[in-house]
Chains A and B, each alone.
Chain A
Amino acid sequence: MLDFFNIDSLLSEDERAVRDSVRRFVDERVLPIIGSCYVDGRFPKEILPDLAELGVFGANLPEEYGCAGLNNVAYGLIMQELERGDSGVRSFASVQGALAMYPIYAFGSEEQKKKHLPRMAKGEVIGCFGLTEPDFGSNPSGMITMAREQADGTWILNGSKMWITNGSTAQIAVVWAKTNGDKSDSSIRGFVVPTDSKGFKSKDQKGKLSLRASDTSELVFQDLVLPADAILPKSGGLKSPLMCLTQARYGISWGAIGAAMACFEEALEYSKTRVMFDRPIGGFQIQQERLAEMLTEIVKAQLVSLHLGRLKDAGTFTPQQVSLAKRNNVSIATDIAREARRLLGANGILAEYSAMRHMANLESVYTYEGTHDVHSLVLGQALTGLNAFK
């Protein structure tokens, strides 16, 4: 990997060691199979035990719960390397760590943490995150999924969720629901829902032209009975799931860099070896400009995420800063993937190369976890104090 700005010099030895270990794993275990997984529309489940053994799930959560206890920069570098493989593989790790393990860690009781987190870190239990609904994506406060508390303290859950990564593979779903008939978003609470509960149904969403190496599902809850201890006791209001999304978006800002790096490296290599008009196409100004543009944006994105990671470790980062990083980095990655695909000419449409796979994947990443447009409005509100959502 080209490190044009010697950004490695800003990383500690263990941050580099973590990055290099995951990088080698992705080179040896993900890249050889991911093209065919994508074409077949299949998540590469076979890598999960080794990915868990490596320790990537919830890697920035504490060691006492069986996690690696890494800082947020090392965690970001893991996301970068996984997405250098494929956005679907990184999405799996993001969902498991930032969207399923994190809410249990942040809002769960000590019993819930001890019960779930070590097994999730080992990959023995897979989690998913249910917030988005068919009619409520950018506007989660409008959700209609409802949990009602019974006289005996148990809960009855009704509703549905959509676009749920890992939804059909998960053993537990962290589901966000309004409670006890209260339609305001302050009544939203999180629940740990075993997916083998009676009244739980999941169905894979078919016909995806993006994130094909990832499972995306619809979840339906019909009179699903949950024990009293299924509720995440410290969750309260829409703020709770949004805190999870801030964690995941932070990782996505790094992940997008990985996808961009993969496309850039592929385009650079191709430009040096592909001969047209009797010389490598890298000798033509138009391709050099493409490559210069890609490199520049990657370096800028790397510095943004790295600084954001340092702020996160210092405990001073804001969700608005995460919005800026996610918005910028995913946007430049989609552009880089498209330009790389173009540089590759006709070969660029083949699954044998990665550019078009990343290009299609990144359209999902551009849209999920707060669309690009929603992050524009978050920044707009931060700048002007005026809320464009209301």
Chain B
Amino acid sequence: MKIAVCIKRTPDSESRFKIAASSTAVDETGLKFDIDDFASYAVEVALQINEKQGPGETVVVAVGPDVVQETLRKAMSMGADRAVQLKTDAIPYDGLAVAKALAAELKAGNFDLVLFGKHAFDTSAGVVGTATAELLGIPCVTAATKLEISNGRGVARRELEGAAETVEFPLPAAVTIDEGIARPRYPSLKGIMAAKKKPLETKPAQLGAVRVTVKAMELPPERPAGRIIGEGTAAIPELIRLLQTEAKVL
């Protein structure tokens, strides 16, 4: 199978974030970036499908400045065969603009399957996968927690609130991947060395018009300090009263 995986480079989710002076972006100083978690699940799913189904090709694609080459090589060190960077100085916030660049690259590629992360950690927008599918005119399944492919058709499982559903669809198709589907493999040391020799192509990103931009960002308000209302059993009545009247959780 010929599978494309669209991946994004995002900051480590355990970082302590600060807002940049512009107040419309995160201050990237000192942040560690890596392949987005959901994108890494998508890469793992693609590798497993091709390992199971015999010879195929897994191509990773990313939109962004030259630093995304490191993220693309990481996916190749996991096992992807080649990579395409759609070069732009900055990734626009508008998911449709990004989707247009991806669709322009993918449409001539004859891919059986195009995978995405469910959303990326930095924007949590979840637009690019569905919008790219629409531009390519192929069916799209979002937030898959299981994916099986056979005889030109796919079956995916989706978790709902309190239930799950199984959907089926013909290929070619786009699927966005949720967590829990597969544990991404460790890039092996040989894989890291091999990735340096795999092809990485750079092309200008044919971005669409950017119509949505960030106006302001803010961090959640600081939590007020805790307070000690007493000690031992004597404090219980007051604690219950405050939980009822102030915190309103009882």
| A positions within 8 Å CB-CB of B | 13-14, 17-18, 20-21, 24-25, 50, 53-56, 59, 63, 68-70, 74, 78
A–B pairs, 19, beta carbons within 8 Å = A13-B70, A14-B193, A14-B196, A17-B74, A17-B192, A18-B192, A20-B34, A21-B187, A21-B188, A50-B186, A53-B188, A54-B186, A54-B189, A55-B191, A63-B190, A68-B189, A68-B192, A69-B190, A70-B189
Least Cβ–Cβ distance between A59 and chain B, in angstroms? 5
Can you name the residue of chain A whose Cβ is closest to the Cβ of B77?
Answer: A17
> Given A21-B192, A68-B193, is A13 in contact with B73 using a C-beta cutoff of 8 Å?
yes
| B positions within 8 Å CB-CB of A | 34, 70, 73-74, 77, 186-193, 196
Least Cβ–Cβ distance between B48 and chain A, in angstroms? 16
Which listed residue (A17, A18, A21, A78) contacts B73, Cβ 8 A? A17
Which listed residue (A13, A21, A24, A50) contacts B189, Cβ 8 A? A21
Docked CA distance A55–B191 (Å): 9
Is the beta-carbon distance between A18 and B189 smaller than 8 angstroms? Answer: yes
Closest 8 CB pairs of A and B: A55-B189, A68-B189, A21-B187, A17-B192, A55-B188, A68-B190, A21-B186, A55-B190
Least Cβ–Cβ distance between A187 and chain B, in angstroms? 38
Docked CA distance A345–B146 (Å): 47
Docked CA distance A134–B74 (Å): 48
Least Cβ–Cβ distance between A47 and chain B, in angstroms? 12
Docked CA distance A83–B77 (Å): 24
Least Cβ–Cβ distance between B57 and chain A, in angstroms? 22
Is the beta-carbon distance between A59 and B186 smaller than 8 angstroms? Answer: no
Docked CA distance A17–B35 (Å): 12
Chain A residues with CB under 8 A of B34 = 20
Which listed residue (B70, B186, B191, B192) contacts A25, Cβ 8 A? B186
Docked CA distance A70–B73 (Å): 17
Chain A residues with CB under 8 A of B193 = 14, 63, 68-70
Chain B residues with CB under 8 A of A18 = 189, 192
Chain B residues with CB under 8 A of A54 = 186, 188-189
Chain B residues with CB under 8 A of A69 = 190, 193
Docked CA distance A24–B12 (Å): 13
Docked CA distance A240–B188 (Å): 31
Chain A residues with CB under 8 A of B77 = 17, 21
Chain A residues with CB under 8 A of B70 = 13
Docked CA distance A18–B192 (Å): 7
Can you name the residue of chain A whose Cβ is closest to the Cβ of B69?
Answer: A13
Least Cβ–Cβ distance between B169 and chain A, in angstroms? 33
Chain A residues with CB under 8 A of B186 = 21, 24-25, 50, 54
Docked CA distance A24–B191 (Å): 15
Beyond A18-B189, A55-B188, list 11 extra A-B contacts (CB 8 Å): A17-B77, A18-B192, A24-B186, A50-B186, A53-B188, A55-B191, A59-B189, A63-B193, A68-B188, A69-B190, A70-B189
Docked CA distance A53–B73 (Å): 19
Chain B residues with CB under 8 A of A20 = 34
Least Cβ–Cβ distance between B7 and chain A, in angstroms? 15
Chain A residues with CB under 8 A of B73 = 13, 17
Least Cβ–Cβ distance between A306 and chain B, in angstroms? 19
Chain B residues with CB under 8 A of A55 = 188-191
Is the beta-carbon distance between B190 and A56 smaller than 8 angstroms? Answer: no
Can you name the residue of chain A whose Cβ is closest to the Cβ of B183?
Answer: A28
Least Cβ–Cβ distance between A370 and chain B, in angstroms? 28
Docked CA distance A59–B187 (Å): 14
Docked CA distance A24–B77 (Å): 15
Least Cβ–Cβ distance between B220 and chain A, in angstroms? 20
Least Cβ–Cβ distance between A12 and chain B, in angstroms? 10
Docked CA distance A25–B191 (Å): 15
Chain A residues with CB under 8 A of B196 = 14
Can you name the residue of chain B whose Cβ is closest to the Cβ of A17?
Answer: B192
Q: Which of A13, A20, A21: most chain B CB closer than 10 A?
A: A21
Chain B residues with CB under 8 A of A13 = 70, 73
Docked CA distance A78–B29 (Å): 26
Q: Which of B34, B188, B189, B191: most chain A CB closer than 10 A?
A: B189
Least Cβ–Cβ distance between B46 and chain A, in angstroms? 19
Chain A residues with CB under 8 A of B189 = 18, 21, 54-56, 59, 68, 70, 74, 78
Least Cβ–Cβ distance between B211 and chain A, in angstroms? 35
Least Cβ–Cβ distance between A225 and chain B, in angstroms? 38
Q: Which of A17, A59, A63, A74: most chain B CB closer than 10 A?
A: A17
